[in-house]
Amino acid sequence: AQSVTQLDSHVSVSEGTPVLLRCNYSSSYSPSLFWYVQHPNKGLQLLLKYTSAATLVKGINGFEAEFKKSETSFHLTKPSAHMSDAAEYFCVVTFSGGYQKVTFGIGTKLQVIP
Amino acid sequence: EAQVTQNPRYLITVTGKKLTVTCSQNMNHEYMSWYRQDPGLGLRQIYYSMNVEVTDKGDVPEGYKVSRKEKRNFPLILESPSPNQTSLYFCASSLLGRGSPLHFGNGTRLTVT
């Protein structure tokens, strides 16, 4: 079985300050992990992915995530928040080698205050 | 342009009236899947398909049917919709293989009264 826990349903930051969105996972197999972003009334867009290569993964728009196996975490960070980052973010885990099940976290809504 | 196309974007219907939400992708992806998004629950997988004529249940398949007769199309069928199926639905596709990202449609907002 696999699961994803996004530890914060809402995060609020000031523009220009760092962003941290937390994600913990459990998986019986070597996981593939993803972060997706959803802007209001839009579909989901891939931010970045981890598939067993480098543990520090760089994505689009300045976002990064670090895979920590010992902590079963895959937290998303950005050094400096921009107003356009306001959106909902989803952490996703899939089985290694296949897509039999795709499990989403419940999402974290990021608010950026001017 | 590579894309996943869902139709319709918005749908209001009544309990018990059969409906179909279409999904088509132009990227020759083997894998396609359907999700529903509800507040506080994130996205939950309804059904998925690894290839033509191969489909399997996700986490919340009750009340839904799918078919995969062609590689590009993966319609979602609600034979007898009920109000608890009011939700935002997303179709997605990807290549098979580790780390292949999902490509999402723009969603279908369904209201069942």
> Inter-chain contact A99–B33, Cβ cutoff 8 Å?
yes
Give A40→chain B minimum CA distance, Å.
11
Two tokens at A14?
């000031």
Query: How does residue A27 score in pLDDT terms, banded at 50, 70 and 90?
Result: confident
- Cβ contacts of A6 on chain B, cutoff 8 Å: 42
Size of interface A-B (CB pairs under 8 A): 65
Q: How does pLDDT run across A74-89, given as a tens digit for each residue? A: 999 999 999 999 999 9
A33 close to A93: Cβ distance less than 8 angstroms:
yes
Residue A66 has pLDDT above 90, yes or no: yes
Q: Which long-range contacts (CB under 8 A, 24 or more apart) does B12-17 make?
A: B12/B110, B12/B111, B12/B113, B13/B81, B13/B110, B13/B111, B13/B112, B13/B113, B14/B81, B14/B112, B14/B113, B15/B80, B15/B81, B15/B82, B15/B83, B15/B112, B15/B113, B16/B80, B16/B81, B16/B82, B17/B81
pLDDT for the residue B64: 98
pLDDT for the residue A100: 62
Residue A99 has pLDDT above 90, yes or no: no
Q: Identify the segments of chain B with pLDDT beneath 70.
A: none
Residue A98 has pLDDT above 70, yes or no: no
- Cβ contacts of B94 on chain A, cutoff 8 Å: 99
Interface test with B, best of A44, A45, A60, A103 (most B CBs within 10 A): A44
Q: How far apart are CA A15 and CA A17, in angstroms?
A: 6
- Cβ contacts of A103 on chain B, cutoff 8 Å: 45, 59
Tell me the CA distances in angstroms from B103 to A13, B72, B83, B92, B97, one per residue in order: 29, 13, 28, 5, 14
Q: How far apart are CA A37 and CA A47, in angstroms?
A: 6
